């Protein structure tokens, strides 16, 4: 339900309610229903969502899997992309009609040590889209003007959606890994995240070795720039990667602690292991002796900043990345979650709103 208001030449669409996929409790399927549109705070904007990707984090949110749980009822989604229809009185950075992305980092304080040193993703005051604030699984979403990122013309909103989390997360992981030309980069897991991680490691000049359990995914990895592939169901990835000289960096996008341990063991001396995926089983076992003697770095990487996302969109606009995705209707949200959980999806599901 919406009405059009003429304001300084641009037509603002006022909305009172909209359809969204709502989590009412952690043990029931999502319910697609009409929800009221909250009043805008002065620094907020309303966005008419065009495309919204389904990330594994949304599934963890809907199931209440993590130590810090969201509070139902809430609307998941942190890959929402759409056009601004309303702006709060203090918003100057975006205007009605512009296309924006609404990432996981929905709000940060802007003044703490993390925020002012380029680590806004570590801000303790942060709010997260689709977790602590309603997200992109709706016809509309409310976001903070400072924390959305403009989607450049020429970037398809259905590509922009997966780039908003999967893209920026893997791009940042490659940055954190410190990949330089000719480095051997082991990418564990070729899914929604990994298929993009391979491309960013390749763009950084790395020689990518992709590891997965499914041959079709490894074929895709080769198409996207992987120089080598290893099917870990058929051969030992540690042995295979050590035979190539060992990885300078290994990045774990696979939701299995075993993959993290294999990624560690595939490193050469001085190598870096980057933790990205968040398996439900929260513990890995790594040896202290080898870590010390081999000078290994282990580092966690969480999403990316607004600057990282701008760079991700820029690379895509230049035609340097390819997003593998499948478009579905929001009414298919529950079966889509099941498909992702059972590994029946090639890369990323994007809902059309």
Q: Is 81 in the site for Zn ion (CB under 5 A)?
A: no
The smaller minimum CB distance to Zn ion, of residues 48 and 56, is found at 56
Task: In whole angstroms, give the CA distance from residue 298 to residue 290.
Answer: 12
DSSP for 51-68, please give it. EEEE-HHHHHHHHT-SSS
Q: CB of 17: closest distance to Zn ion in angstroms?
A: 27
**x/- contact string, 162-201, with Zn ion (CB under 5 A)?**
---x------------------------------------
Q: CB of 236: closest distance to Zn ion in angstroms?
A: 30
Q: CB of 166: closest distance to Zn ion in angstroms?
A: 7
- DSSP structure class, residue 80: E
- Chain centroid offset of residue 295 CA: 30
The smaller minimum CB distance to Zn ion, of residues 113 and 338, is found at 113
Q: CB of 25: closest distance to Zn ion in angstroms?
A: 22
Closest CA to 56 of 346, 342, 256, 341: 341
- 100: CB partners within 8 A, 6+ apart: 45, 47, 81, 82, 83, 84, 94, 143, 148, 149, 150, 151
**x/- contact string, 41-60, with Zn ion (CB under 5 A)?**
--------------x-x---
CB 121 within 8 A of CB 304: yes
- The interface with Zn ion within residues 98-137 (CB under 5 A) comprises 108-109, 112, 115, 123
Q: CB of 187: closest distance to Zn ion in angstroms?
A: 17
State phi, psi for 319 to the nearest 5 degrees.
Answer: 80, 20
The smaller minimum CB distance to Zn ion, of residues 56 and 99, is found at 56
Total number of residues that touch Zn ion (CB under 5 A): 8
Which residues of the shown chain bind Zn ion in the complex (CB under 5 A)? 55, 57, 108-109, 112, 115, 123, 165
């Amino acid at each position: 339900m919406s009405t059009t208001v003429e304001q300084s030449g641009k037509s603002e669409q006022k909305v009172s309610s909209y359809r969204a996929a709502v989590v009412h409790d952690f043990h029931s399927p999502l319910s697609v229903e009409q929800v009221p549109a909250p009043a805008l705070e002065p620094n907020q904007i309303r966005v008419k969502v065009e495309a919204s990707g389904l990330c594994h984090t949304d599934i963890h949110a809907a199931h209440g899997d993590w130590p810090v749980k969201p509070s139902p009822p809430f609307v998941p989604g942190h890959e929402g992309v759409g056009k601004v229809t309303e702006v709060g009185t203090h918003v100057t950075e975006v205007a009605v009609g512009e296309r924006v992305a609404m990432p996981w980092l929905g709000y940060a304080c802007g003044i703490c040590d993390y925020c002012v040193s380029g680590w806004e993703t570590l801000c303790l005051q942060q709010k997260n889209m689709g977790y602590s604030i309603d997200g992109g699984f709706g016809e509309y979403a409310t976001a903070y003007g400072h924390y959305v990122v403009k989607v450049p013309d020429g970037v398809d909103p259905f590509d922009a959606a997966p780039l908003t989390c999967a893209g920026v997360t893997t791009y940042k992981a490659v940055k954190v890994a410190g990949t330089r030309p000719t480095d051997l980069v082991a990418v564990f897991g070729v899914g929604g995240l990994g298929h993009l991680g391979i491309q960013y490691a390749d763009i950084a000049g790395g020689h990518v070795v992709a590891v997965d359990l499914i041959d079709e995914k490894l074929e895709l990895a080769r198409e996207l720039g992987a120089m080598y592939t290893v099917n870990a169901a058929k051969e030992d990835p540690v042995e295979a990667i050590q035979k190539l000289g060992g990885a300078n960096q290994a990045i774990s996008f696979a939701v299995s602690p075993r993959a993290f341990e294999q990624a560690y063991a595939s490193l050469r001396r001085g190598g870096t292991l980057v933790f990205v995926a968040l398996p439900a089983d929260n513990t890995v076992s790594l040896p202290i002796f080898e870590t010390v003697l081999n000078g290994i770095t282990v580092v966690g990487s969480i999403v990316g900043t607004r600057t990282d996302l701008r760079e991700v969109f820029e690379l895509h606009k230049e035609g340097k990345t390819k997003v593998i995705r499948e478009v579905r209707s929001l009414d298919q949200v529950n079966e889509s979650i099941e498909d992702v959980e059972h590994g029946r999806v090639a890369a990323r599901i994007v809902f059309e709103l």
